[in-house]
């Protein structure tokens, strides 16, 4: 019943699972350059922290929140790719109506990416719905769902020592927005690593 489009290779080939991206076609592998300009797009706002470099900036995106899948394994199980496992778990949760397939208008949120991590807020008011410190972000997967919509799966490790993780699922307006979110998070990771 469901056709699975699998994510492509990760943006960080030499690091642990951090940020992964998938383009609109499930078969073509095209890593994104971290040097690309992420400041394009109408739904994104770049906020300068006052000094040069991407370390003191935050980037905002508007997208839809679909829901959360709990108790994922933070490591591959049975030799299966964690990206595949995550997408399978999301699709199971959607079939069981535990998370949305298509968002409602009030599911629109603002995602803020900075050196502090990922913050998700209501667009109508400044209420923080989720706050994920950067060190808890294990993986970000961009994938096309069975309806042709572009989704992001943000895998968060509850505790560094824990083998369990949660996955927050968002729906983007288009593939380009999802790619810019992945690049923005990758740029923050790279800026933090370079500052150490």
Question: Can you give the residue ranges of every domain in the chain?
Answer: 44-123+132-195
Give the per-residue pLDDT at 185. 94
Higher pLDDT, 9 or 103: 103
Burial class (CB in 10 A: 0-12, 13-18, 19+), 151: buried
- Whether the per-residue pLDDT at 10 is higher than 60: the answer is no
Rounded CA gap, 11 and 13, in Å? 6
CATH annotation of 44-123+132-195: 2.30.29.30
Give the per-residue pLDDT at 16. 30
Contact 29, 8 (CB under 8 A): yes
Give the per-residue pLDDT at 29. 25
Give the per-residue pLDDT at 93. 94
Q: What is the pTM of this model?
A: 0.72
Higher pLDDT, 64 or 50: 64
Most confident region among 44-58, 134-148, 167-181 by mean pLDDT: 167-181
Mean pLDDT of 101-130: 91
**Confidence at 79, pLDDT banded by 50, 70, 90:** low
Contact 128, 110 (CB under 8 A): no
């Amino acid at each position: 019943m469901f056709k699975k489009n699998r994510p492509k290779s990760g943006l960080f080939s030499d690091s642990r699972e951090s940020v992964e991206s998938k383009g609109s076609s499930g078969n073509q592998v095209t890593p994104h350059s971290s040097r690309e300009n992420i400041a394009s797009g109408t739904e994104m706002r770049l906020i300068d922290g006052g000094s040069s470099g991407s370390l003191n900036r935050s980037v905002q995106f508007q997208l839809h929140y679909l829901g959360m899948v709990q108790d994922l394994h933070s490591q591959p199980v049975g030799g299966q790719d964690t990206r595949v496992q995550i997408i399978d778990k999301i699709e199971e949760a959607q079939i069981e109506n535990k998370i949305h397939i298509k968002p409602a208008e009030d599911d629109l949120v603002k995602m803020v990416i900075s050196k502090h991590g990922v913050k998700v807020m209501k667009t109508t008011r400044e209420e923080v719905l989720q706050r994920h410190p950067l060190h808890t972000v294990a993986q970000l997967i961009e994938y096309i769902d069975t309806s042709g919509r572009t989704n992001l799966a943000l895998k968060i490790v509850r505790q560094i020592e824990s083998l369990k993780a949660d996955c927050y699922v968002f729906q983007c307006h288009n593939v380009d927005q999802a790619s810019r979110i992945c690049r923005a998070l990758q740029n923050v990771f790279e800026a933090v690593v370079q500052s150490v």
